[in-house]
Amino acid sequence: MAVIEIENLTKDFAVGFWRKRPVRALDGLSLEVRAGEIFGFLGPNGAGKSTTLKLLMHLLSPTSGSARILGRPAGDTAMHERIGYLPENPYFYDYLTPRELLTFMGRLFGMGGAPLARKVRELVGEVGLAASADLQLRKFSKGMVQRLGIAQALINEPEVVFLDEPMSGLDPLGRMEVRRIVTGLRERGVTVFLSSHILPDVEAICDRVAILNRGRLQEAGTLEDILRARISGHEVILSGWTEGTLEAIRPWCSEVRAMGERLHLRADDREDLEAVLGFVFAHGLELVSVNPIRPSLEEYFQTLVVGK
Amino acid sequence: MNRILAIARNTFRETVRDKILYNLILFALVMIGSSLALGQLTLGNEDKVILDLGLGAISVFGLLIAIFIGIGLVYKELEKRTVYALLAKPVRRYELVLGKYLGLLWTLGVNLAVMTAGLALALGYTGRAPAGAYWRLLPAVGLIFLSLALATALALLFSTFSTPALAALFTFFLWVIGHFNADLRTFGELSGSPAVEALGRALYYVIPNFGNFNLIDGRGVLQTAGYARPIDPWAVAGAGAYALLFIAFLLALSVIIFARRDFK
Ligand SMILES: Nc1ncnc2c1ncn2[C@@H]1O[C@H](COP(=O)(O)OP(=O)(O)O)[C@@H](O)[C@H]1O
Ligand SMILES: [Mg+2]
């Protein structure tokens, strides 16, 4: 079942002081997120990720297209009882403490009394702020505010959580904790929609991803599938080779490197690979391994940004 | 309603921890205190001087609180994007506007109470004012509260669409003009030119009439024999009704603007 349905969503911003001209931040995005998955929304800076999330939260109204969450239109306030949202670079009131802020946010959901106090205590612990639960936020580092932002997104035990760059501002340990929290949410059946430009984090936890660039959807699916489609050749490793081997196979390889006993080769297409493997078997060399060469997500991003 | 109250309470809590607030209150109390010294220079009507200066100080510092804290708060809410997390909760936009407004009134009310207590102390220090004067401080300050509630609604409206500096300027400007706009109308009528007269009348209706609230001054509070200025209860009630209607109108406008706004 689709929990988030985005259809042809488009947003233009008017920029310029005198002569306003529209700039398209999001261009005809269509997307579906299924119940219970961690969905990664990827793209370089300025791709339109935050704009999409704000449209989903109804902070912006779309130029055209529509978005539905849990079967209700994005502007449906009652539906907001069942979702959570972490804005990009969140900021909260300077003079409140985490406990006060979370209590306030809980009240907006009609919570109160001992159950709310318990929930606040639990969340503060879960995001690692227990020691500073009663300090005013103006003394907080960016990372601490980010953690509090995650906590406030979870106060109502939402069914769907939207996180805009949840790992930004956190050190490696903090990022790991966020990963743990997010996978913990999945175990409880919560759907997570998270945007990021920090790829390894996403690679580690997301079930499916969508890749956005300049407001357009480039690709959606499992990372595995997206990257498999871009196999750019194979790496073959041999041992038991001689100088003669080198001479013979060089024409089929785009790269040849000797590393001690072993020879690392790169064959760019299928014919070359077959020729190399044929030679290996015909001359009784020892085949150590054959691996497809997939680009890392970083490399893939790079090709996107540079332009195809 | 619960959500509006939660937002109001949160707004109040946020403002009372702001240092600006204490500086403003301290200033006002110092002003009221120094009116004691000034009062001693004026033979005979010491209490009147204390009251006029004190009520004036409450009014001006109340306005500064409304402008600096009110506008600053709304600006921070929008510019620093606190509003993003809030509006993603099951909060309607009008609830946010009303909650903020009520929270600001709450702050303002508590501040006026502190300043009024200071004024009553100053009055008690000279010890000559009749007992009824202390009671009559309440409607006098109540009128100031109404005028400040109106100024706050104005500030809130401006800050939904302009920068804080401009919003503060607009509010202050209208507050000053609003004290004289009955004069503007009279000036229009006297000018003899129909165009100027129409303009004067238009301004009279559009600009909130802050002069309406100047009904109880030092003499009105004191009511000393031979010296009294009577309080007209109908005028007070009229000023109250005027304030409520105008505030409702300004809040409705703020809500409409706020509800259509994109939060970029
Ligand atoms: N308020 C705005 N006014 C004008 N342009 C904007 C505004 N917000 C975002 N944009 C533009 O929209 C594009 C997408 O921005 P954003 O959604 O923030 O990207 P991301 O979150 O992927 O980094 C960018 O080119 C940005 O310059
Ligand atoms: Mg962003």
Query: Could you tell me if the CB of A59 is within 6 A of ligand 1?
Result: no
Q: What percent of chain A has pLDDT over 70?
A: 99
> How far is ligand 2, taken at its centre, from the CA of residue B30, in Å?
49
| Domains detected in chain A | 36-53+89-228 (3.40.50.300), 234-292 (3.30.70)
Q: Which amino acid is residue A215, in one-letter code?
A: G
CA distance A268 to B4: 65
Q: Is B262 in the pocket of ligand 1 (CB under 6 A)?
A: no
Who among B82, B84, B89 is closest to A109 (CB)?
A: B89
Model pLDDT, residue B204: 81
The CA distances from residue A27 to A60, A67, A234, A304, B261, in Å, are 15, 14, 36, 16, 21
The Cα angle at residue A239 between residues A234 and A245, in degrees rounded to 5: 80
Nearest chain B residue to A74, by CA: B88
**How many residue pairs from chains A and B have C-beta atoms closer than 8 A?**
82
Residue owning the nearest CA to atom 10 of ligand 1:
A25
d(CA B136, CA B49): 16
Contacts of B6 in chain A (CB under 8 A): 104, 107-108
Q: How many helices (H) and strands (E) does chain B have?
A: 12, 0
Instruction: Name which of A193, A227, A176 is nearest A41 in CA terms.
Output: A193
CA atoms within 13 A of residue A207's CA, in its CB half-sphere: 15
pTM, two decimal places: 0.84
In ligand 1, the atom with minimum distance to the C-alpha of A48 is 17
* Among chain A residues, CA nearest to B3: A108
Give φ, ψ of A213 to 5 degrees.
Answer: -145, 130
- The beta strand positions in chain B, using DSSP E, are none
A89 with B14: Cβ contact below 8 A = no
Q: What is the pLDDT of residue B200?
A: 81
pLDDT under 70 in chain B at which residues? 43-44, 225-228
Residue B129: the pLDDT is 76
Distance from CA of B23 to the nearest CA of A (A): 17
For residue A92, list chain B residues with Cβ-Cβ distance below 8 A. Answer: 82, 85
Kindly list the domain boundaries of chain B, sorted by start residue.
2-260
Which residue's C-alpha comes closest to atom 4 of ligand 1?
Answer: A13
pLDDT for res B226: 66
B4, HSE (Cβ side, Cα atoms, 13 Å):
10
pLDDT at residue number B225: 65
Q: B1 exposed, middle or buried (CB, 10 Å; 0-12, 13-18, 19+)?
A: exposed
Q: Is B261 on the interface with A (CB under 8 A)?
A: no
CB neighbours of residue A302 within 10 Å:
12
Question: Do A80 and B88 touch, CB atoms closer than 8 A?
Answer: yes
The confidence score (pLDDT) of residue A307 equals 62
Minimal Cβ distance to A80: which of B2, B88, B263 = B88
Q: Which is nearest to A54 in space by CA: B263, B92, B96? A: B263
Amino acid B136 reads: R
pLDDT of residue B68: 82
Residues of A with CB under 8 A from a CB of B: 13, 54, 57-61, 77-78, 80-81, 83-87, 89-96, 100, 104-105, 107-110, 136, 149, 152-153, 156, 162
Helix-, strand-, coil-residue percentages of chain B, each rounded to 5: 85, 0, 15
CA atoms within 13 A of residue B237's CA, in its CB half-sphere: 3
Residue A88 CB coordination number (10 Å): 17
- Cβ separation of B88 and A57 shorter than 8 Å? yes
pLDDT of residue A245: 82
Ranges under pLDDT 70 in chain A: 305, 307-308
How far apart, in whole angstroms, are the C-alpha atoms of residue A97 and residue A213? 38
Query: Are A127 and A181 spatial neighbours (Cβ–Cβ below 8 Å)?
Result: yes
